[in-house]
Amino acid sequence: MSFLTPLFLLGALAVAAPILFHLIRQTSKEETKFSSLMFLLASPPRVTRRSRLEHILLLVLRSLVLCLLAFAFARPFLNMAQTDDAATGPGRRIVILVDTSASMRREGVWADARARAEAFLRDTTPADHVALFTCDRDVKRLVTFEQWDSAAAGQRATIAIAALAKAAPTWHGTHLGTALVAAASALDEARAENQPQLRERRVILISDLQEGSHLAALQAYEWPKGVELVVEPARAKRPTNAGLQLIADSDDNEKKPGDAFVRVRVSNSTDAKRELFQVGWQSADGKDSLGKPQDVYVPPGQSRVVALTAPPVGASADRITLRGDDEPFDNNVYLLPPEAARVSVLYLGTEPETDTAQPLYFLQRAFPATRKQIVQILARPPVAQLLPSDTEAPLVIVTDAMSDERAAAVRRLLTEGKTVLVSLKTAAVARTLGQLVGSATLTADEAKVPSYAMLAEIDFQHPLFAPFADPRFSDFTKIHFWKYRRLDATQFPGARVVAKFDTGDPALLQVPVGKGALYVLTSGWQPGDSQLALSSKFLPLLFSLLEQAGGLRPQITQHTVGDTVPLAATNAAVRVTKPDGTGLTLGAGTAAVIQTDQPGIHTAVSGATTQRFAVNLDPQESKTPAMPIEELEHLGLAVKRADKTTTVQAAETKRHLANAELEARQKLWRWLIAFALVFVTLETLLAGWLAKPTVATSAETLSPAGRLS
């Protein structure tokens, strides 16, 4: 027998009161006749060694009543053999999802997350089906449902705990939405298979739930019905955090003296206790500060932009460090100044560079040098032999007739994938154009323009004119053409007319030749032919053409952890050295790309080519305050808030509830109360019988002890 409220058993100690009262007798059995006692004081009875218990049956009845009441209030019940439904009945299907993103590197967070995951694994039963996933930017399946079911029942939790012990926080961002979709989909897929019916399906998320988590994948996902999400927040020892973020400079012009070399943003968490920080350059080995750090005051929940000058001359500085923060995992920003990309354009014409009436003069001034790129115009006479460096130019511009040998060389470049622009400055250039497309009969004649012609039909779907598709930039009517050469587009097989004059004649054509693209402009851009070189459309049109030719490739030196970085194309093997000193080798002829997995400066060496690039932490990881769980509920997830009790406490609560249910079903206290009432009745009758009144006399009586009776 067990008791639901055993403390009430202490009430049975009240049986001492009837025993004491029975020892203290109020009257004596022996009486002696005596005269009036009105002038004597009555003395109370005393317990002495000679006191003896009387009316034992009455005492037993009274004690039984008190004991029965104490037992009734203790709510007794009979223990019965209970079967654990979780062990013998339908089990649970659970996915334990553990966050391993960069924010989990904060002190105490990962240890707390592991402890919670291990507690859940140990609490599983043989009937449960469990999978263990980790998530950051991607989802990793440490233990699948198949691996769990194939293991021995007593070894499943041990295997999963061992797999979790090998995991650790990475440097990737928190793509929580993608991970939750993968976990819920795994439960849904398992349900569709021939599996026994399960009591419940549940995703247990163990994460710090930081505000910077990416949840976009959940917006278009319908959470499966019957799948419950239990959130177990992992806590850090110091919840406050400040982060550092690099602000990209979008200015393409050269920096003036005195301008800021780089700008960074310092953000502070809403619950921060620190407000004063220092920002400065750090040496490449991360040991010494370079120059004087700059003090930054950032109130909690706010951010400040700090402009830093260039590091000291000759210093090897590739990072900016934030000091004064409790959590160092996001206090470094790595950067490398981008080198200007050099792009060459091969120009084949006869005019001098200083002739203001010729196309070359305007072309030389169309590409200003910027910090990101330097475009060099390689002007060559049409009869000179091409140099090896000339053949590397992605764009070739032809404005004059060429010799047969030169035309054959340009055609080879064209068929190999180069882009060639032929401007019909004169009708004689049509012969060279025919050699490039392989048509010996191609001719052109001067068009008769009454006053001027305009571009009337432009294909803004073409990549060349796509930048002008916006109505704000699509007006080309202000560009007048005084002269142009008439071409028949049907002479070019596969030609696409990109633009037409208002007369209906082609103004710009694209002709495929081999792997390359041949553009034909039937007029010139010099003032003698048109106003094109003097218009605001000339420069973006040339840049668009150069971009289509593959000459303007953005040089990216700043990446985020997890990005795939293309390496310099070479025929030799590539040796990549990571910031932590580890490295890997990519064989020759393979796709020279690397997926970054840690912040810092990476170096790729292939033969004589060395490529360095900086990788930084996802800025969202610095937003460490916990997001409200209601945000997940608003996305349609069936969230069940986790209890703040331990596994032992939860088991104890479960046992207590089972006992309460069993006691409520048996209700033994009713029988005890009934027996107590019966004994109370017997005690009352017996006490009344023993207390029969004696016949009163005129004389007073005195007991042997001298007490008044």
Q: How confident is the model at residue 589 (pLDDT cuts 50, 70, 90)?
A: low
pLDDT for residue 591: 57
> β-pairing, 289-297 with 200-207?
unpaired
Q: What is residue 283's predicted lDDT score, i.e. its pLDDT?
A: 78
Confirm if 598 and 624 have CB atoms less than 8 A apart: no
pLDDT > 90: what percent of the chain? 34
Asked if residue 250 has pLDDT above 90, the reply is no
Q: What are phi and psi of 22, to 5 degrees?
A: -70, -30
More confident residue, 453 or 691: 453
Whether the pLDDT of residue 61 is over 70: the answer is yes
Average pLDDT in the 288-316 region?
Answer: 83
Confidence of residue 179 (pLDDT cuts 50, 70, 90): very high
Rounded average pLDDT over 278-291? 78
**pLDDT: which is higher, 285 or 525:** 525
Q: Give pLDDT, residue 58.
A: 74
In the predicted model, what is the mean pLDDT of residues 494-512?
A: 92
Q: For the chain, list the domains and their CATH numbers.
A: 2-77+667-702 (no CATH), 85-237+624-646 (3.40.50.410), 242-334 (2.60.40), 341-548 (3.40.50.880)
- pLDDT tens, position by position, 369-409: 776 778 888 888 877 677 887 888 889 999 998 888 888 88
Q: Token match 């009776």: residue?
A: 709
- In this predicted structure, what is the pLDDT of residue 98? 96
**What's the pLDDT at 36?**
64
Which range is least confidently modeled, 204-218, 249-263, 558-572? Answer: 249-263
pLDDT of residue 362: 92
Q: Are 561 and 173 in contact (CB under 8 A)?
A: yes
Q: With cut-offs at 50, 70 and 90, classify the pLDDT of residue 258.
A: very low
pTM: 0.62
Rounded to 5°, angle at Cα 396 from 390 and 402: 90
- Does the pLDDT value for residue 151 go beyond 70? yes
Residues 598-631 have pLDDT tens digits of: 999 988 888 777 888 899 999 999 998 889 989 9
**C-alpha separations of 463 from 458, 478, 516, 548, 553 in Å:** 12, 22, 15, 7, 16
pLDDT at residue 170 above 50? yes
pLDDT of residue 507: 93
- The answer, yes or no, to whether residue 701 has pLDDT greater than 50, is no
DSSP3 helix / strand / coil % (the chain, rounded to 5): 30, 25, 45
Residue 698: what pLDDT? 43
The residue ranking higher by pLDDT, 87 or 533, is: 533
Q: pLDDT tens digits for 122-133?
A: 988 888 899 999
202 and 92 Cβ atoms separated by less than 8 Å: yes
Tell me: pLDDT of 174 over 90. Answer: yes
Q: Contact at 8 Å (CB) between 398 and 432?
A: yes
Q: Look at residue 198 and tell me whether its pLDDT is greater than 70.
A: no
Note whether 497 and 462 are within 8 A (CB).
Answer: no
The percent of residues in the chain predicted with pLDDT above 70, rounded, is 82
Q: Which of 149-153, 193-197, 600-604 is predicted with the least confidence, judged by mean pLDDT? A: 193-197
Rounded average pLDDT over 82-89: 47
- Which residues are CB-contacts of 235 (< 8 A; sequence separation ≥ 6)? 108, 109, 112, 208
Average pLDDT of the chain to the nearest whole number? 82
pLDDT above 90: residue 296: yes
Q: What is the pLDDT of residue 197?
A: 55
87-96, 160-169, 430-439, 575-584: lowest mean pLDDT where?
Answer: 87-96
Query: What average pLDDT does the segment 172-178 reach?
Result: 94
Q: How confident is residue 337, by pLDDT bands cut at 50, 70 and 90?
A: confident
**How large is the greatest C-alpha to C-alpha distance in the chain, in angstroms?**
167
pLDDT category, 86, cuts 50, 70, 90? very low
Rounded distance between C-alpha atoms, residue 16 and residue 655, angstroms: 35
